[in-house]
């Protein structure tokens, strides 16, 4: 199983506890985790279901540069972190 | 009791005057950019559009004047086609900003319109529970020639619903001209004849499809009278926008963003001049309001109560509003000033110098 965790900056808008989901492509993993809080999906993804420009997804400690296809495989035991990038003022 | 909603870079402020003076009575969404707000006269509902820096556009709705808010669906583009004529559309199919919100007609309960940036027009038939893109406007061929003014892409900032017929809408697009539908959005017609854009190449300046109307308003009692503060001056139409008449630039400038018109008197409108498009500050550092009482033939300039030395306020397109009485006006700036007038703009009272940048005002 894969652990998917959303940063407090996201959870203050729509709460979602860490999720345990089946391994697979990163998109499948994220979509499965967001089933627990569907309203959170529009915070993570834009209208085209790409990861928003100011949201960052890490698999373990590696930032995922691909925002659109999210085809990277995620294995059992991996941890996915969805956090906010730093911006604004 | 009068209520003024003030949408700012750092939240939505509610100002009220219960007879003892204007004061802030609530601050909603503290710290969050609020780009548009609607107070729906049909049902009393308030809708606020947020532009979260990281997490996109969100809409919240209150049915009890702000005591409670509920997040509702936000306008969103459909999936962009991977092939066909839209495959190479350079415009992002993702809503960056809700720039305008309008209520449908009294005979259309639950109908809301949202003008966005990029320039999608969205309709909700269920008070914001769901939204759909108006594909007739989005797919009309001229849309690909629209371009951004202050933003990277074109956007829809003005939506007026004809009080005589809610199927008649007039939109203003920066930079995409003025568009009208008479069938609830099934078909659209470009109605920018008479407008001139001096930023376009010689020979193209009268291209209606790339005009930059900064803001468009309609006289409620005489809906065929429309006013536009354009990038290149002021326009008025007396035939529902079929023909736009250029108004000679008043002193101190014909440039600006905001326009408000009297809901009863078709001859009266207010403007907030700025020096020029290349210098968006009050002329000589003096903040003034211009008013015409004769359809634009002449203007009076009012400064009483407004800062007259080293004032660098800019009033955006939704930063000047008039209430239904035609005498109470509010004006707010990108540097956090908020002023109120109770005599049709002749004298102003400072309410605050310390607000965040103000995007939009609404009386309710």
Question: What is the sign of the dihedral through the CA atoms of B361, B362, B363 and B364?
Answer: negative
pTM of the entire predicted model: 0.95
Q: Note down the domain range covering A22.
A: 2-84
Peptide bond into B252 cis (omega under 30): yes
* Nearest by CB: A47 against B54, B71, B95: B95
Tell whether A28 is covered by a domain: yes
Q: Which residues contact B164 (CB under 8 A, 6 or more apart)?
A: B223
Q: Are A28 and A73 in contact (CB under 8 A)?
A: no
Please report residues of B whose CB lies closer than 8 A to that of A50. 94
A-B interface: how many C-beta pairs under 8 angstroms? 46
Kindly report, residue by residue over B244-271, the tens digit of the pLDDT. 999 999 999 999 999 999 999 999 999 9
* Nearest by CB: A54 against B54, B78, B95: B54
* Nearest by CB: A48 against B54, B58, B94: B94
Band of residue A86 on the pLDDT scale cut at 50, 70, 90: low
ipTM above 0.90, yes or no: no
Kindly report, residue by residue over A59-82, the tens digit of the pLDDT. 999 999 999 999 999 999 999 999
Tell whether A19 is covered by a domain: yes
Q: Is A38 helix (H, G, I), strand (E, B) or coil?
A: helix
Closest residue of chain B to A51, computed from CA coordinates: B55
Please report residues of B whose CB lies closer than 8 A to that of A6. none
Give the Å distances, CA to CA, from A63 to A27, A31, A70, B164, B345.
Answer: 15, 18, 12, 56, 55
Tell whether A68 is covered by a domain: yes
Question: What is the sign of the dihedral through the CA atoms of B191, B193, B198 and B202?
Answer: positive
CA B305 – CA B320 distance, rounded (Å) = 16
Tell whether A89 is covered by a domain: no
Q: Say yes or no for a CB contact (<8 Å) between B76 and A85.
A: no
Interface of A with B in 16-55 (CB under 8 A): 39, 42-44, 46-50, 52, 54-55
Q: Say yes or no for a CB contact (<8 Å) between A87 and B53.
A: yes
Output the six-digit token pair for B40.
């729906």
Q: 10 Å Cβ neighbour count for B88?
A: 8
Number of domains in chain A: 1
Name the residue among B196, B232, B226, B187 with its Cα closest to residue B214. B232
Name the residue among B223, B232, B316 with its Cα closest to residue B261. B223
**CATH (domain of A23):** 3.10.20.30
Kindly report, residue by residue over B102-138, the tens digit of the pLDDT. 999 999 999 999 999 999 999 999 999 999 999 999 9
């Amino acid at each position: 199983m894969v652990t998917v965790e959303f940063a407090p900056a996201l959870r203050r808008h729509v709460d979602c506890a860490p999720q345990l989901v089946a391994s697979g492509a990163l998109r499948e993993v994220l979509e499965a985790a967001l089933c627990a809080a569907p309203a959170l999906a529009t915070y993570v993804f834009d209208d085209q279901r790409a990861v928003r420009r100011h949201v960052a997804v890490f698999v373990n400690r590696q930032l995922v540069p691909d925002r659109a296809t999210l085809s990277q495989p995620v294995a059992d035991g991996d941890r996915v972190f969805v956090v906010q990038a730093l911006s604004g003022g | 009791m009068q209520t003024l909603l003030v949408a700012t870079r750092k939240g939505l402020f509610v100002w009220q005057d219960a007879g003892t003076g204007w004061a802030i009575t609530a601050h909603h969404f503290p710290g969050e950019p609020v780009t548009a707000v609607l107070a729906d006269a049909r049902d009393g509902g308030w809708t606020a559009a947020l532009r979260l820096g990281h997490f996109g556009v969100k809409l919240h709705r209150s049915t009890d004047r702000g005591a409670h808010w509920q997040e509702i669906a936000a306008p969103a583009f459909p999936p962009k086609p991977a092939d066909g004529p839209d495959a190479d559309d350079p415009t992002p199919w993702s809503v960056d900003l809700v720039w305008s919100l309008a209520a449908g007609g009294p005979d259309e309960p639950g109908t809301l319109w949202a003008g966005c940036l990029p320039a999608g027009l969205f309709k909700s038939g269920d008070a914001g529970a769901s939204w759909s893109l108006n594909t007739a406007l989005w797919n009309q061929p001229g849309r690909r020639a629209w371009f951004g003014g202050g933003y990277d892409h074109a956007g829809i900032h003005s939506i007026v619903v004809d009080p005589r017929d809610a199927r008649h809408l007039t939109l203003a697009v920066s930079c995409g001209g003025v568009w009208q539908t008479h069938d609830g959005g099934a078909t659209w017609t470009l109605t920018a004849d008479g407008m001139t854009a001096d930023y376009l190449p010689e020979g193209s300046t009268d291209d209606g499809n790339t005009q930059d109307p900064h803001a468009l308003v309609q006289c409620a009692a005489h809906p065929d009278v429309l006013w536009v503060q354009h990038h290149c001056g002021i326009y008025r139409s007396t035939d529902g926008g079929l023909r736009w008449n250029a108004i000679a630039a008043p002193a101190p400038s014909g440039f600006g963003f905001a326009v408000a018109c009297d809901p009863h008197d078709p001859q009266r409108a207010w403007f907030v001049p700025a020096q020029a498009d290349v210098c968006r500050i009050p002329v000589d550092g003096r903040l003034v309001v211009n008013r015409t009482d004769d359809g634009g033939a002449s203007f009076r300039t009012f400064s009483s109560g407004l800062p007259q030395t080293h004032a660098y306020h800019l009033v955006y397109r939704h930063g000047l509003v008039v209430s239904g009485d035609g005498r109470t006006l509010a004006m707010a700036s990108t540097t956090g000033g908020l002023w109120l007038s109770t005599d049709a703009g002749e004298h102003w009272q400072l309410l605050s110098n310390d607000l965040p940048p103000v995007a939009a005002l609404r009386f309710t």
